[in-house]
Every structure is written in structure tokens, then in C-alpha cells.
Chain A
Amino acid sequence: MKRIFDAQLIGPFAALVIVALIVALTTERFLNPGNLSNLSLQVSIVALIAIGSTIVIFAAGIDLSSGSMVALLTMIFALMLKSIGIPLVIAVPLILIAGAFLGLVIGVITAYGRIPSFITTLAALIAFRGLALTFNNGSPIFSLDPALEPIFYGRLAGIPLPFFYLVFFYGLAAFMMNFTKLGREIYAVGGNPAAAVLTGINVKKVQTITFVIAGFMTAVGAILMSARLNSGSPNYGQTLELQAIAAAVVGGASLAGGRGNILATLMGAMTIVIVQNGLNLNAAPSSVQNIVLGLIILMAVGIDMWRAELSALMSRVFGRTDGARSSAAKKAA
């Protein structure tokens, strides 16, 4: 267990607690049961998609496609249920397969076509949104299936289902990253692709797999999105990819690859959503929310980059003297 819950979680956890405390203290309705359950719904979609985005980042890639892929998949899901009449039990796995397949296509083009993932997924971001608009004349499709919401957003033993999705998928992802050969290979490819090749790791395959995982998790998010709103729309998921990447970054994942803890991404996602929720409850306009999200990302990376300087500043401010340094200074004098 100590492998999963390591020191990398302390910073993101502290940030989450501080943010939650501030919002709870300044916003009356924050702790209402209704708001909290709404919060868990909001967190779940971003946090589940962020699993894939983070794993891609661990392998030194980036996935910008997830927001548009959500829109595309909700439209395909809606068409399956409403126009074709495919039953839910078949439509759900088909969508998961479709997501994984789209991820596979992106992964193969990136890894075997040697095109940077920033470009392939940027292209996908634009193209998937366009593709989503080709269905149903670009209009949303409503009232898919009355069973959707209760199935995906019901409660088990009084606890909202999204909580279980988070526990399940984050548990699985944490297990994979920390205890399996694939997880280790993903970190190795992100840490040093040249060395990974020379140690016999199939770098291209591993890179491709990260995009398949990302596509699959995006499909999970798309199904939850459709279920929550009982609809499919080409406009869903705008900037979702950026929120997912932000969750990874606030959680401390290095964009250079190879470093980070997947569970920290969950904390990052929660931090971001709580801030947004707090602003919402205080009737802040969405423009302000975006500005704040931008600042949070900047701060999270800044704190990481300036860690050494900040700790030096802290010790100066609080007058804690470094033993070794003071003895060295004595010697010099």
C-alpha cells in the first residue's frame, strides 16, 4: 500500500483540503446534501476521463481529444438507443468499444506514424466535434431512455453510484500503474523512451495502449454524460479535455512524462470542481470561473517548479535554520 499512497499525494491532498475548507467556510450552501451529491456527479465525469488523460501524460503524451470524443460518443449512443433501437445492455458495451477503438486509431497514428500526440489529438479534437455535428443535422437528441438516469445515477446502500465508479476505476488504475508490468512500462516510456527501446520495451505498443485506455475512459464519461442529461449532443464536453488535463497537472503529474501518482489526479479533479462549485454557488459568472481555473493550473505547476525556492523562503520566514548550512557557514568563517 505504501507504494500507492506515497509522498506525491501530500501536496494535492493539502490543496484539496484547503480549497474545500475555504469554500465550506465562505459558502453557506456548500455542505447541503443536495449540493454535495451534485458535486459528486460533477466530479465523476471529469475525474473518470482524467484517468485516461493522466496515463497518457505518464507516457509523455497529451490527449486533447477527450472533450470532442464525448460529444461524438453521446451522439452515437443516442442514435443507437433512439433511431436504431439497440437495447441499453448492448449499446453500453458498444460505446465502450467505440471509445477504445477511437483511442486505438489515435494511438497508432501517434506511435507508428511518428506524429506528436499534441498534433494527432488536436486534429481529433477538431474532427470529432465536426463528426458529431454530421449526425441528426447537428441537433441534440433528447429523451433517450427513462431507465438511464436511475441505472447510472441511482444509489447503492444510500451512496450515489458515481462514488463506486470512482472507487472502482481509480482502484484499477492505481493497481495497474503500481503493480503491473504495463504500468511500469508506461512510466519507463514516459521517463526515457530511448532507454526504454534499449531495454526491450515495445515503446510504440505501450504508447498506443495509453491512448486506448484514454479512449475507453472517455467512453465511460460519455455514457455518464448521456445518462445524466438523458440525451446526446454535439455540444457536450466543451473544454472537458482541458479540465481533465488540469486535474492531472494539479495532481502533480509531470507533463514531461514518467512522474506522478494517478490517485493525485482524483484529488486534482475534486479541487477543480469544488472551486467551480464554490464560484457557482456565489453566482460568479462563467468567465470568472475560467480565469480562476487558469490561475489554479498556473499555481499548481508553479508550486511544483519552485519547490526548492519556496521551501528556502519558508525556512527563512519561519526562522528554521538548516543545520548543515549553519555548520558550513561556521567553518567558512
Chain B
Amino acid sequence: MNASVPLWEFDNISKAYPGVLANDRVSIKLLAGSIHGLLGENGCGKSTMIKTLSGVQQPDSGRILKDGQQVQIADPQAARDMGIATVFQEFSIVPTLSVGENIFLGNMPRSSFGVVDWKKVHAEAAAVLAEMEVDISTEAITGRLSVGEQQLVEIAKAVAMRASMIILDEPTAALGEEEIERLHQLLRTMRGKGTGILYVSHRLDEVERIVDEVTILRNGRVVSASGETKINVHEIVTAMVGEDIGEHYPKEKNAQEEIVFEARGISTKAGVNDASFALKRGEVLGLGGVLGSGRTEIARALFGTDELTSGEVVLNGQPVAFKREIDAIRAGLALVPENRKFDGLFFNFRASGNITAASLGKLAKLGVLDLKAEERATQELIEDLEISAQAEEKTVNFLSGGNQQKIVIARWLFSNAEVLILDEPTQGIDIGAKIAVYKLINQLTRKGKSIILISSDHDELLAMSDRIAVVQQGSIRRVVDAAELTHDDLVRASAETEETLEKEEALA
């Protein structure tokens, strides 16, 4: 292939929505056999660009060239026919179908009678998976696979259609470290075969590891075309935000000696197995471990969602038994769930309804709500946490991910919780909003509140925690000072026991 002609060229693409110019003359050149990072904060126009490139919408102006020839991507089917495969953030697999069926969905090999040729479906699907060096049965029901494996099935679909360009939108948002590594390995293999990959991500640490060049968008415009910015977290962040943001992780140490919350050998049916730890006042205790290690399950056990089968939870020196979430909330616990869209927010409410939802009892006299007090408290929190001023004018679905996350946290400030469990609090929000969440963590610990932090972003976990509890197989292997651990230590610590366990099993 002629190196001077890009595989795909998007030239001066503009797209306006009512009231906003979402893409303003954006140009991207995607070379064959390269991984091209498309970066920018929320609302910078990445999603608009992806929709245009995958044929979901038409640009208002600009040219699209494939191998130097101008083309039009009329609709998603046309995009597929031209070899563009898009893996959206929300997967498009059908969970009830088998892996083989999903890989060839809409494009099933048929026999001469027009009937699906099942043998061929599974044989070809198996060939694709083998080519990707992925070990998943084509007969497996896709919905039963882990999120990481489902992601690989998504990519297998792209491989099966022999795509020349694959667009990955936040491909690692739901993946653990090991799965990310596996995905990256696969992407490198595909790059070696000449595929062009457009990689959209918020996780800058991994961008540094995988991409060959970057295009950075801000306010719908290209602020740094490929080759202009070194692929280095600090430079990328500066280009994305538009200013030097200084400290990426503004950690304050506020831990005191007093122990406020303790788990003593707790177990649940969901897989928590004899887990113990102690949390100090003002401390951030990070739970580190791979996806599926049992971090979220520990959170559920502490919050009264899952019943304890053994062990006890101690709050301020008193043993407590939470039968349901409401018991935990009344005692002063809070859970910011991993998935704020599904488990956190009420999209039918404005900021106020979301903020007061967990403490309506506090606002009510004889069942009647004091709406004035609600308004005042909401206004205060909006100002305090620098939440968008629009938050109280419209329902929260109109807000950015960062503002939404702040609102979920504000809910627990209003409930005056003493111990907050933050499960992936910065997932899917942009750098500016992440730093705001970090500052909020500081603000909380300064007031003597204690935090259990769960995060798959190891850099974040190491930087923002005082101590780290390494979680494996639903129990806590050890608790160490965050300062004594490095990124590699944490990855290794998370992985090593599985090998150890295997060895133990082999010996037994």
C-alpha cells in the first residue's frame, strides 16, 4: 500500500446540531496498520465524529476519502460494506444468542435453501476467534460471558467482516487490567495485519501504552493534529483541557488514628470470603484487584445488599447488622454505585430530587416534604461542588457525566454519611471532572469522613488512597501503604495469587 495515501481520510468534517456546532472542520488521516487515538473531554465532539464515520448521520460539509477516492457513507450498512466496523460503548451483541450467532449477526452464512448453515457459522466463527487467539467457545451464550469476553466477541464481529477500519469507543471502560492487556495485544496483532484502528478513550494511561498517533479535539475543533503532540499523558491532558492543569492527583492526607469502620471475617453467598479490614477516620482505603476479584461484592456486603453468612461489621466500635440498604444508610453509610446510569441516578428528577432521594425522611414532617429546605440544600451543594447551574433547571439526563457523578456524591453529603463507598467514581468522566471528584474526596476526608475507594484505574487508586487492600477471590490478602506500591506491584499483586492458587491446587 502506498504510504502517502491514507487508508481513510476525513477532511474538514463539520456537523451542527440545533444550538451547537459539534464538529468544526475536523480532519483525521487514518493510516493502514496504525492505532490512532481520538481524544478529548466530554462534549468535545468525539461522539459526533464517530456517528458520522459509522454512517449514523451525515456531515453538513466536508469530504470523506477511502484510499484517496471520495466516498459517501450513506448509512450504517454502507459503512459496514466499506469495511468500517464500530464497537460502541454500549455493546450491540444480543446476550441471549450464542457467540457464533453474534459474530455473524445479520450476515449468517446460508446453505442453498436460504437456511442458516449452522456448521459453517460455528466453523467460521471458530476460525475468527482462533485468528484472534481468543479461547471462547462459539456455542457459549454470549450474555453469560464476562464483560471482557463480550468485548472480544464485539471485536470478533469486526474481524469477521474483514473491516479495514475499526472504531473503538471507550473499549476498556468496563474491563479489568488483565482484560485490557489482552485487548491491547489483540489490537497490536490487528495493526500488524494492516488494519487501521481509531481508538477513543478517557483512560490516558493506557492511551500512552497503545496508540501510535493522536488527534485531540476541544469544543468541536482539532486542537492537536497527529504528530503535533507527543504521546505523553501530561501533554495530552494539557491539550485536551486547554491549560496546564498542574497536579493530576491532588491527594491530601487526612487519615486519623481512630478506627471508624471495620469488617471482621465477613462472607456472603455472592463470593465474599472471610474478608477483614479496618478503616480509619478521614482515610481513603483503596480496594485493588482485578475485575471479578470481589471488590464490588465486598461493597454490597458492607451496604446490606447481600446478606452476611458469617463475620460482622463494626461501626464506631458497635457491631451492626444491616438487613437492607436502608439500615446501612440510616447508620451513616453511603454507596456510590459503579454504574451511575443504571444504579445511581433518577433521570426523571432534577438535581434536587436526586440529591435528597436517600434522606427524604430528614425533609419530611408527617410525610409532607419541606420543599423550601430541599431547594436551599440543593442550591448550597450545587455551589459547593461546582455543579452546573443548569442542574436544577432540567432533569439530570441533560447534564455531563461529571456533573451527574457529582450529584450522586452530593446525595451522600446531604445524607451526612460517615463512611462512603465509591465504586469506580471517575469511570467515563473527563479529566476536569475527575480532578473535581478527587478534590471532593479531599473535602470529605478533611471533614473526617472515611472513604472506601474501588477503582480499576490503578494510577488513580494508588494516588488517591492512603492504604490499599489487595482483594483476591473475595478476600483481602493484605493491606499496604499506597506509597509503598507501584503500578506494577499492584498488577502483580492482583495476579500472583491466582498462580499461587493453581500451584496449591496442583500440589493438593
User: Cβ of B411: which chain A residues have Cβ within 8 Å of it?
Assistant: 199
- Cβ of B246 under 8 Å from chain A: no
User: Cβ of A257: which chain B residues have Cβ within 8 Å of it?
Assistant: 348
User: Cβ of B369: which chain A residues have Cβ within 8 Å of it?
Assistant: 179-181, 184
Q: In the complex the two chains form, is A201's CB within 8 Å of B357's CB?
A: yes
- Which residues of B397-411 have CB atoms within 8 Å of chain A's CB atoms? 411
9 A-B pairs whose Cβ atoms sit less than 8 Å apart in the complex: A180-B364, A181-B361, A184-B360, A195-B345, A199-B357, A202-B324, A322-B19, A324-B18, A332-B24
B residues engaging A (CB < 8 A)? 14, 16, 18-21, 24-25, 60-61, 303, 305, 324-326, 328-330, 335, 337, 342-349, 353, 356-358, 360-361, 363-364, 367-369, 371, 411
Q: In the complex the two chains form, is A259's CB within 8 Å of B348's CB?
A: yes
User: Cβ of A332: which chain B residues have Cβ within 8 Å of it?
Assistant: 14, 16, 21, 24-25, 60-61
B299 to nearest A CB, angstroms? 11
Q: In the complex the two chains form, is B329's CB within 8 Å of A200's CB?
A: yes
User: Cβ of B303: which chain A residues have Cβ within 8 Å of it?
Assistant: 198
Q: In the complex the two chains form, is B360's CB within 8 Å of A185's CB?
A: yes
The docked-state distance in angstroms from the alpha carbon of A259 to that of B353 is 13
| SS of A interface (majority) | helix
Q: In the complex the two chains form, is B21's CB within 8 Å of A191's CB?
A: no
B371 in complex: contacting residue of A179, A201, A324, CB < 8 Å: A179
A200 in complex: contacting residue of B20, B342, B358, CB < 8 Å: B358
A-B contact number at CB 8 A: 107
B84 to nearest A CB, angstroms? 24
Report A156-197 CB contacts with B as 1/0, cut-off 8 Å. 000000000000000000000001111011011011101111
Nearest A residue to B346, CB-CB = A191
Nearest B residue to A257, CB-CB = B348
The docked-state distance in angstroms from the alpha carbon of A202 to that of B303 is 15
User: Cβ of A188: which chain B residues have Cβ within 8 Å of it?
Assistant: 346, 349, 353, 357
The docked-state distance in angstroms from the alpha carbon of A187 to that of B348 is 8
The docked-state distance in angstroms from the alpha carbon of A17 to that of B24 is 45
Q: How large is the interface on A (under 10, 10 to 19, 20 to 34, 35 or more residues)?
A: 20 to 34
Q: In the complex the two chains form, is A199's CB within 8 Å of B329's CB?
A: yes
Report A289-307 CB contacts with B as 1/0, cut-off 8 Å. 0000000000000000000
A-B complex: 7 closest residue pairs judged by Cβ atoms: A258-B348, A200-B326, A191-B348, A324-B19, A199-B358, A200-B329, A191-B346
- Cβ of A329 under 8 Å from chain B: yes
Q: In the complex the two chains form, is A179's CB within 8 Å of B348's CB?
A: no
- Cβ of A3 under 8 Å from chain B: yes
A325 in complex: contacting residue of B16, B324, B348, B353, CB < 8 Å: B16
- Cβ of A328 under 8 Å from chain B: yes
Which of B25, B337, B348 is the most central at the interface, judged by chain A CB atoms within 10 Å of its CB? B348
User: Cβ of A114: which chain B residues have Cβ within 8 Å of it?
Assistant: none
